[in-house]
Structure 1
Amino acid sequence: MSYGLDVLSCLLVDRTTKKNILWADNEYVMRGKGYEPYDEIAPDLILPKFTSNERIIEPRVAKSAYAQAWRTKQKAEVFTPPWLCRRMVDCLDDAFFGDEPAGFTDELNSGLTEERIAKLGNDGLWKKYVDNRLLEITCGEAPYVCSPYDTTTGDYVPVAERIGFLDRKLRVVKRCTDTCEDWYKWSVRALQSSYGYEFQGDNLLIARINVFNTFCDHMNDAWNRGPTEKEARCIARIISWNFWQMDGLRCCVPSEWDVPIETEEDSQMSMFDIEGFMVEDKSVTEDIDEKGQGQERMPSAQKCLIFDWRARKPQTYESLKG
Structure 2
Amino acid sequence: MEKYVSIDILEEDIIRIDVNLLKILLKDRTTNKNIIWATDDYIELGNGFLSSEQITIEEITGIYGTVIQPRITKEKNEQNLRTKNRAEVFTPSWICNEQNNLIDEQWFGRKNVFNISQKNNWITNDKKILFPDNEKFSWNKYVDAKRMEITCGEAPYLVSRYDTVTGNYIEVKDRIGLLDRKLRIVNENVSDDKWFEWVVRAFQSIYGYEYQGDNLLLARENLLYTFIDNYRMRFKEDISLKWLETIATIISWNIWQMDGITNTVPLHSRLYQQGNLFESFDTMENTISLPCKIKDWRARKILLFKNLMRE
What is the TM-score of this pair, normalised by structure 1?
0.82
For 1:143, which of 156, 166, 171 is the aligned residue? 156
1:156 alignment partner AA = Y
Measured in 1, the distance between the counterparts of 2:182 and 2:39 equals 33
RMSD value, Cα: 2.9
SS of equivalent residue, structure 2 residue 295: strand
Partner of 1:267: none
- What's the offset of the Cα at 1:122? 6.9
Partner of 1:158: 171
Measured in 2, the distance between the counterparts of 1:111 and 1:134 equals 23
| 162-171 vs 118-127, greater mean Cα deviation | 118-127
| 309-318 vs 197-206, greater mean Cα deviation | 309-318
- Relative to structure 1, the CA distance from residue 54 to residue 131 in structure 2 (aligned partners, 3 Å threshold; closer, same or farther) is closer
Matched, 1:220 2:208: no
* Identity level (%): 40
- Relative to structure 1, the CA distance from residue 186 to residue 120 in structure 2 (aligned partners, 3 Å threshold; closer, same or farther) is farther
For 2:101, which of 87, 90, 94 is the aligned residue? 90
Matched, 1:9 2:23: yes
Partner of 1:55: 66
Partner of 2:45: 31
Partner of 1:307: 295
For 2:75, which of 51, 64, 87 is the aligned residue? 64
- Relative to structure 1, the CA distance from residue 12 to residue 165 in structure 2 (aligned partners, 3 Å threshold; closer, same or farther) is same
Residue pairs, 1:206-245, within 5 angstroms? 206-245=218-257
The answer on whether the counterparts of 1:89 and 1:111 sit within 8 Å (CA) in structure 2 is no
SS of equivalent residue, structure 2 residue 130: helix
Uncovered stretches (5+) of structure 2, i.e. residues with no partner: 1-13
Residue pairs, 1:104-253, within 5 angstroms? 107=117, 117-119=129-131, 125-179=138-192, 181-253=193-265
1:82 alignment partner AA = S
| 227-236 vs 6-15, greater mean Cα deviation | 227-236
Measured in 2, the distance between the counterparts of 1:145 and 1:289 equals 55
- Relative to structure 1, the CA distance from residue 121 to residue 207 in structure 2 (aligned partners, 3 Å threshold; closer, same or farther) is farther
Uncovered stretches (5+) of structure 1, i.e. residues with no partner: 259-282
SS of equivalent residue, structure 2 residue 294: strand
- What's the offset of the Cα at 1:176? 0.3
Measured in 1, the distance between the counterparts of 2:76 and 2:274 equals 44
Partner of 1:18: 32
- What's the offset of the Cα at 1:25? 0.4
- What's the offset of the Cα at 1:300? 1.3
Partner of 2:11: none
- What's the offset of the Cα at 1:257? 4.0
2:295 alignment partner AA = F
Partner of 2:56: 42
- What's the offset of the Cα at 1:219? 1.2
- What's the offset of the Cα at 1:107? 3.6
Partner of 1:273: none
Cα-to-partner distance string for 1:69-110 (whole Å, 9 max, x where unaligned):
0000000000001110000010110111135x789xx748x9
More strand by share: 2
- Relative to structure 1, the CA distance from residue 120 to residue 141 in structure 2 (aligned partners, 3 Å threshold; closer, same or farther) is farther
1:32 alignment partner AA = G
The answer on whether the counterparts of 1:24 and 1:201 sit within 8 Å (CA) in structure 2 is yes
Measured in 2, the distance between the counterparts of 1:115 and 1:62 equals 35
- Relative to structure 1, the CA distance from residue 125 to residue 115 in structure 2 (aligned partners, 3 Å threshold; closer, same or farther) is farther
Measured in 1, the distance between the counterparts of 2:125 and 2:174 equals 12
Aligned residue pairs total: 289
Cα-to-partner distance string for 1:166-192 (whole Å, 9 max, x where unaligned):
00000000000122x211100110000
The answer on whether the counterparts of 2:124 and 2:174 sit within 8 Å (CA) in structure 1 is no
1:303 alignment partner AA = P
| 87-96 vs 295-304, greater mean Cα deviation | 295-304
- What's the offset of the Cα at 1:155? 2.1
- Relative to structure 1, the CA distance from residue 62 to residue 295 in structure 2 (aligned partners, 3 Å threshold; closer, same or farther) is closer
Cα-to-partner distance string for 1:228-265 (whole Å, 9 max, x where unaligned):
1111111110000000000000000002549xxxxxxx
The answer on whether the counterparts of 1:91 and 1:102 sit within 8 Å (CA) in structure 2 is no
Cα-to-partner distance string for 1:254-297 (whole Å, 9 max, x where unaligned):
02549xxxxxxxxxxxxxxxxxxxxxxxx889696549x99986
Residue pairs, 1:272-283, within 5 angstroms? none
The answer on whether the counterparts of 1:12 and 1:240 sit within 8 Å (CA) in structure 2 is yes
Measured in 2, the distance between the counterparts of 1:226 and 1:120 equals 36
The answer on whether the counterparts of 1:24 and 1:254 sit within 8 Å (CA) in structure 2 is yes
